Amino acid sequence: MVGFGCVGQGVLPLLLRHIDMKPEQVLIMTADEDGIGVARKHGVPHMVTPLTKENYRQLLEPRLSPGDFLLNLSVDVSSVALMELCQKIGALYLDTCIEPWAGGYTDPSLPASKRSNYALRETALALRKPGGDGPTAILTHGANPGLVSHFVKQALLNISADAGKPVEAPATREGWARLAQALGVRAIHVAERDSQVASKRKVPGEFVNTWSVDGFVGEGFQPAELGWGSHERHFPVDGYRHDFGSKAAIYLARPGASTQVRTWTPLAGPIHGFLITHSESISIADYFTVGAGDNPEYRPTVHYAYHPCDDAVLSVHELAGRNWRLQKKKRVLKDEIVSGIDELGVLLMGHGRGIYWYGSQLSISEARSLAPHNSATSLQVTAPVMAGVIWAMKNPACGLVEPEGLPYEHILRICRPYLGNVVGAYGDWTPLKDRGQLFEEALDLEDPWQFKNFRVV
């Protein structure tokens, strides 16, 4: 296990619970002492040794053999480099996002397009061998990206059944895309509201979050990215297309941490979320495309819409005021959380019933009762990590696989006991609702599902 932050600490007891192995069969390699007490508690060997571009082969090659598993839960360690090494050795692999080496998100020598998740994904997919064989490597399988792709498939089947037209789960990628097209789904948000609160609140000069501060800030510094739908008719003035790859996504000339969109969840109602770049914005849009290129027959607009915990929102505002110079103090909320939930799901819009949210509503108290060393946020990540590891071990020769290529029912079945209330909810919200007449000139009143109506300007 490379990296042992909040996700590593939370997934370790789940792996030991669900996989028949001894603690000494696990080795943790981490950059700092954070969480080492958890490793000792479970009797798991560990090394405090940061992996770098210069030393990763020297450290990993002697410790990996064919059939071993490299679980990458790190930041600032190149996912592509680790995947290449696993392919060479014959080891299995899973990560929760595609990371560059340290500094890759903000490298001034790279244009914005090359610093994007779109570019990272294309580089990773280029490792896929002809025929799709080789040791299994599961890309980006945490909560989001990861779990949410399975939510989308279940949501499509639910919408169809609720409309009186139940269908069998499609067996192909094209079948899923045609189903979304037939239902009229025009936009998909990964809509998340984290309401967890700690006993000790944020103070000035501190960045507080319920998961990795470095991870959140790193992706927040990347350009805002979204899968670009075939129904869109107002290209953003600060938007850019990529000149390579699938053409399924675009990016904005501004960081995701400074870009907000309107969205909705069942418990929170209408909210503003950050349009933080995530791989699922690209992979879901690409997977559900009919046709190809810049102007396909069908593609939904897909993006993350994230309202983190209130202290994290304050932290982002302070960070922006500091001209994006990270605060000196960083704190990940764990044991000090006293209340709140993480409401994480997918919001499918434009179909016959308007909007449909499907996902997990998990409270901090329930998360603690289900698995040690977890908050509501981390458990929504660690459960699909554990499920992905189990699937890869049972299917060890599938090559590179994205979440959309995994069996959604199987993954959801393993994860569901750890997700709290898994619910589906329809609503009558649109991004135009209750907006009044003041800004009509800036809106598309004929089609509420245009991206310009969601964007907060």
Q: Rounded to 5 degrees, what are φ and ψ at 179?
A: -65, -45
pLDDT, residue 289, reads 98
- In sequence order, the 6+-apart residues with CB closer than 8 A to the CB of 374 are 10, 367, 368, 382
Q: What is the dihedral of CA 106, 111, 117, 123, to 10 degrees?
A: -110
pLDDT tens sequence across 238-284? 999 999 999 999 999 999 999 999 999 999 999 999 999 999 999 99
Q: Rounded to 5 degrees, what are φ and ψ at 397?
A: -130, 45
Whose CA is closest to 357, among 299, 297, 273, 434?
273
Regarding whether 421 and 369 lie in a shared domain, the answer is yes
Instruction: Look at residues 138, 171, 201 and tell me which one is the last residue of a structural domain.
Output: 138
398 within domain boundaries = no
Instruction: Look at residues 88, 120, 138 and tell me which one is the last residue of a structural domain.
Output: 138
Regarding whether 114 and 202 lie in a shared domain, the answer is no
Q: Which residues does residue 181 pair with via DSSP β-bridges, in sequence order?
A: none
Rounded Cα–Cα distance for residues 288 and 175 (Å):
9
Instruction: Look at residues 76, 104, 138 and tell me which one is the last residue of a structural domain.
Output: 138
Mean pLDDT over 407-418 rounds to 98
Whose CA is closest to 340, among 202, 213, 199?
199
Residue 198 has pLDDT above 60, yes or no: yes
Regarding whether 264 and 217 lie in a shared domain, the answer is yes
Of the pLDDT bands very low, low, confident and very high (cuts 50, 70, 90), residue 439 is low
Residue 436 has pLDDT above 80, yes or no: no
Regarding whether 210 and 305 lie in a shared domain, the answer is yes
Burial 266-303 (b: 16+ CB within 10 A, else e): bebeebebbbbbbbbbbbbbbbbbeeeeeebebbbbbb
As given in the structure block, the two tokens for residue 308 are: 């983190």
As given in the structure block, the two tokens for residue 11 are: 């997934």
22 within domain boundaries = yes
Rounded Cα–Cα distance for residues 88 and 42 (Å):
31
Regarding whether 415 and 267 lie in a shared domain, the answer is yes
As given in the structure block, the two tokens for residue 415 are: 């994860």
446 within domain boundaries = yes
As given in the structure block, the two tokens for residue 404 are: 């959309």
Nearest-Å Rg of the Cα atoms of the chain is 21
Q: Is the bond leading into 145 cis (omega within 30 degrees of zero)?
A: yes
The fraction of the chain above a pLDDT of 70, given in percent, is 99
pLDDT, residue 106, reads 87
Q: pTM, whole model, 2 decimals?
A: 0.97
Residue 438 has pLDDT above 90, yes or no: no
Of the pLDDT bands very low, low, confident and very high (cuts 50, 70, 90), residue 17 is very high
CATH of residue 312's domain is 3.30.360.30
Mean pLDDT over 410-431 rounds to 98
DSSP per-residue codes, 157-193: HHHHHHTT---PPPSSHHHHHHHHHHHT--EEEEEEE
pLDDT, residue 441, reads 61
288 within domain boundaries = yes
Rounded Cα–Cα distance for residues 171 and 249 (Å):
25
Residue 232 has pLDDT above 80, yes or no: yes
Mean pLDDT over 432-442 rounds to 73
CATH of residue 54's domain is 3.40.50.720
Q: State the CB neighbour count (10 A cutoff) for residue 394.
A: 9
Regarding whether 106 and 185 lie in a shared domain, the answer is no
Regarding whether 208 and 334 lie in a shared domain, the answer is yes
pLDDT tens sequence across 101-134? 999 988 889 999 999 999 999 999 999 988 888 9
Structural domain including 193 reads 147-375+408-456
Q: Any idea which of 208-222, 282-296, 298-312, 430-444 has the lowest mean pLDDT?
A: 430-444
396 within domain boundaries = no
Q: 3-state class of 304 per DSSP? A: strand
Regarding whether 100 and 189 lie in a shared domain, the answer is no
Of the pLDDT bands very low, low, confident and very high (cuts 50, 70, 90), residue 32 is very high
Residue 29 has pLDDT above 70, yes or no: yes
Regarding whether 115 and 63 lie in a shared domain, the answer is yes
Regarding whether 284 and 153 lie in a shared domain, the answer is yes
Q: Which residues does residue 93 pair with via DSSP β-bridges, in sequence order?
A: 70, 137
pLDDT, residue 437, reads 60
- In sequence order, the 6+-apart residues with CB closer than 8 A to the CB of 219 are 97, 105, 117, 256, 276, 277, 278
Report the phi/psi class of residue 2: left, alpha or beta, with left for phi > 0 and alpha for psi in -120 to 50: beta
Question: Quick one: which H or E segment has residue 251?
Answer: strand 249-255
Q: Tell me which amino acid residue 74 is.
A: S
Regarding whether 182 and 89 lie in a shared domain, the answer is no
DSSP assignment, residue 142? Answer: B
397 within domain boundaries = no
399 within domain boundaries = no
Cβ atoms of 191 and 305 within 8 Å: the answer is yes
In terms of DSSP H, where are the helices of 72-202? 79-89, 117-125, 147-162, 173-183
382 within domain boundaries = no
Q: How far apart are the first and last CA of the chain?
A: 42
Provide the domain count of the chain.
2
Regarding whether 168 and 28 lie in a shared domain, the answer is no
* Mean pLDDT computed over every residue of the chain: 96
Mean pLDDT over 153-166 rounds to 97
